[in-house]
């Protein structure tokens, strides 16, 4: 089996110089205060395709060109970010690119891929089904298949992130990296192990797609059907990446959907930076188990920023609910003229803003002379929501929070 070493990554860095961004790797003091360690963010979501994936794709394409291979075109299977990396750099190099994506890939990723001049084929419900179709088309149309993670030259390209992080922040003692198929962490771990042998390297998978955790740790966590971190929703880990992770990564952990959602919201609110689910996985691990990282200098890779706007809107709204800034209150009252005005007046005096009102008679279990009012309120925090309830109760209304 092929492997990847530091010299491969250094060669890739020279090959990619000036063609991809050397993205910032800077400290977030606010996030550090929240999670109890020093947090350094590598902003790969600032790449032209908003993802680290173009590093590996370009390294592979450039090496194919250097060898003088006759290339009729390239094909890839991807949930989106690898697709954009391959499409963008194939377009730059004047190559035909065909991308096979799962049918439920976010529209934003499909449109961006088409925008780079690629031909998009939607097939299957999972990455693995898309990959099988891509391999079939590669054979039928004599296209060169570019694997998104289980390829030494792709891994070497991703590993350039590790070189940049340790050059920018040589004192890092921990790296926390999202894991899907394992290409990103395999490359980063290869670079980091060579430059800082004592560094701790932790991989993070979504709990709904724990394939690499199961493969490396021998566990049997069940696989789900979907995750907001679709960029790391890989059901079959790579063979090469599996071997590299066993050898060079200290541990793998799982994070839940709620952890990922919270991390997305925090990065947007605190750092003013937009990441997709996979890009938030590292911070999600810190939020889930802060004691493990207490006092350490942790590098996180914000590996992608391609998130569907509708999904983002839902995540932000759910984040407001978790933070107590969006509250739901039920008020039962005598159904008399002006009762709704009195209820809303108390809410206004308490300083809350009404987002939604549901005035219910027919489906209520209350007496026929009563009305049930459900309010969705914009509040400052949970304490403020409780204050609103208390004021309604003082005003004589039967008010309870949901």
Give the residue carrying structure tokens 């490359």: 187
Identify the CA nearest to 66 among candidates 93, 31, 35, 41: 93
Residues 99 and 214 in one domain: no
Indicate whether 166 and 268 sit together in one domain.
Answer: yes
The reply to whether 40 and 161 lie within a common domain is: yes
Considering the domain boundaries, does residue 1 fall inside one?
Answer: no
Under a CB-based contact definition with an 8 Å cutoff, are residues 100 and 131 in contact?
yes
pLDDT value at position 247?
96
133 and 68 share one domain: yes
CB atoms within 10 A of CB 333: 20
Give CA–CA dist 202/175, Å, rounded: 6
Where is the domain boundary, 319, 345, 371? 319
Nearest to 227 by CA among 214, 241, 209: 209
- The pLDDT score that the predictor gives to residue 104 is 82
CB atoms within 10 A of CB 33: 11
Whether residues 182 and 244 share a domain: the answer is yes
The first and second tokens of residue 300, run together, are: 């996180």
Position 60 in a domain: yes
pLDDT in tens, the chain (402 residues): 679 999 999 999 999 999 999 999 999 999 999 999 999 999 999 999 999 999 999 999 999 988 877 788 999 988 778 989 999 999 998 999 999 998 887 787 788 889 999 999 999 988 788 889 999 999 999 999 999 999 999 999 999 999 999 999 999 999 999 999 999 999 999 999 999 999 999 999 999 999 999 999 999 999 998 899 988 988 888 999 999 999 999 999 999 999 999 999 999 999 999 999 999 999 999 999 999 999 999 999 999 999 988 899 999 999 999 888 999 999 988 888 898 999 999 999 999 999 999 877 666 666 667 788 899 999 999 999 999 999 999 999 999 988
Q: Which residue has the tokens 């395709």?
A: 49
In 3D space, the residue among 167, 232, 220 whose CA is nearest the CA of residue 23 turns out to be: 167
Closest CA to 180 of 85, 82, 55: 82
Short-list 286, 304, 305, CA closest to 295: 286
Q: Which domain covers residue 132, as residue numbers? A: 53-145
Alpha helices in 37-80 (DSSP H): 53-66
Q: Please indicate, yes or no, whether residues 174 and 310 belong to a single structural domain of this protein.
A: yes
d(CA 321, CA 153): 44
CA 181 to CA 148: how far, in whole Å? 8
* In contact, 128 and 236? CB cutoff 8 Å: yes
The answer to whether residue 203 is domain-embedded is yes
Q: In terms of domains, do 207 and 355 share one?
A: no
**Three-state secondary-structure class, residue 49:** coil
Task: Identify the pLDDT of residue 1.
Answer: 61
Number of domains in the chain: 3
Q: What is the dihedral of CA 289, 291, 293, 294, to 10 degrees?
A: 150
User: SS3 for 272?
Assistant: coil
Provide the CATH number for the domain around residue 340.
3.30.70.260
End residue of a domain, out of 319, 349, 366: 319
Is the same domain home to 221 and 172?
Answer: yes
Do residue 329 and residue 311 come from a single domain?
A: no
Domain presence at residue 387:
yes
Note the helical H segments in 272-381.
Answer: 281-288, 290-293, 309-322, 339-349
Q: What is the CATH number of the domain that holds 115?
A: 3.40.50.1100
Report which of 200, 261, 275, 250 is spatially closest to residue 227, judged by C-alpha positions. Answer: 261
Q: 18 with 156, same domain?
A: yes
Residue 20 domain-assigned (yes or no): yes
Q: Are residues 39 and 93 in the same domain?
A: no
Predicted pLDDT of residue 228: 93
Residues 128 and 166 placed together within one structural domain of the fold: no
Euclidean distance between CA atoms 209 and 179, whole angstroms: 10
What is the C-alpha to C-alpha distance for residues 168 and 177, in angstroms, rounded to an integer?
Answer: 17
Query: Which two tokens mark 196?
Result: 């800082």
Euclidean distance between CA atoms 397 and 402, whole angstroms: 15
Tokens of 288: 């889930």
Q: Which of 296, 319, 342 is the last residue of a domain?
A: 319
| Alpha helices in 224-308, H assignment, sequence order | 239-248, 257-271, 281-288, 290-293
Cα–Cα distance, 205 to 212 (Å, whole number): 8
């Amino acid at each position: 089996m092929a492997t990847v070493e530091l010299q491969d990554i250094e060669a890739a860095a020279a090959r990619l110089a000036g063609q991809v961004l050397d993205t910032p790797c800077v400290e977030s003091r606010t996030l550090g205060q929240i999670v109890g360690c020093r947090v350094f963010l590598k902003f790969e979501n600032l790449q032209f395709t908003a993802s680290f994936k173009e590093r590996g794709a370009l390294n592979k394409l450039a090496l194919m060109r250097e060898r003088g291979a006759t290339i009729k075109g390239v094909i890839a299977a991807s949930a989106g970010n690898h697709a954009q990396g391959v499409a963008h750099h194939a377009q730059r190099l004047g190559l035909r690119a065909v991308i096979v994506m799962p049918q439920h890939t976010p529209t934003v990723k499909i449109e961006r891929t088409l925008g780079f001049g690629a031909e998009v084929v939607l097939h299957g419900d999972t990455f693995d089904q898309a990959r099988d179709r891509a391999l079939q088309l590669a054979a039928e149309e004599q296209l060169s298949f570019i694997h998104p993670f289980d390829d030494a030259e792709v891994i070497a390209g991703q590993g350039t992130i590790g070189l940049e992080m340790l050059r920018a922040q040589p004192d890092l003692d921990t790296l926390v990296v999202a894991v899907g198929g394992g290409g990103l962490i395999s490359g980063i771990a290869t670079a980091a192990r060579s430059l800082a042998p004592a560094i701790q390297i932790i991989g993070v998978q979504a709990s709904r797609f724990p394939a690499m955790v199961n493969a490396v740790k021998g566990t049997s966590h069940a696989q789900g059907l979907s995750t907001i971190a679709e960029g790391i929703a890989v059901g079959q880990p790579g063979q090469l990446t599996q071997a590299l992770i066993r050898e060079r990564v200290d541990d793998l952990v799982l994070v839940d959907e709620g952890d990922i959602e919270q991390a997305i919201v925090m990065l947007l609110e605190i750092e003013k930076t937009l990441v997709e689910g996979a890009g938030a996985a590292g911070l999600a691990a810190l939020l889930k188990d802060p004691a493990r990282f207490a006092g350490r200098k942790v590098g996180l890779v914000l590996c992608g920023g391609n998130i569907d706007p509708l999904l983002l809107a839902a995540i932000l709204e759910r984040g407001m609910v978790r933070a107590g800034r969006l509250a739901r209150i039920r008020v039962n009252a005598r159904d008399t003229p002006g009762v709704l005005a009195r209820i809303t007046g108390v809410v206004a005096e308490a300083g809350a803003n009404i987002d939604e009102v549901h005035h219910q008679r027919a489906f209520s279990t209350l007496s026929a002379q009563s009305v049930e009012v459900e309010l969705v309120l914009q509040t400052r925090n949970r304490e403020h929501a409780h204050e609103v309830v208390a004021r309604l109760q003082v005003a004589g209304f039967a008010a309870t929070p949901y």
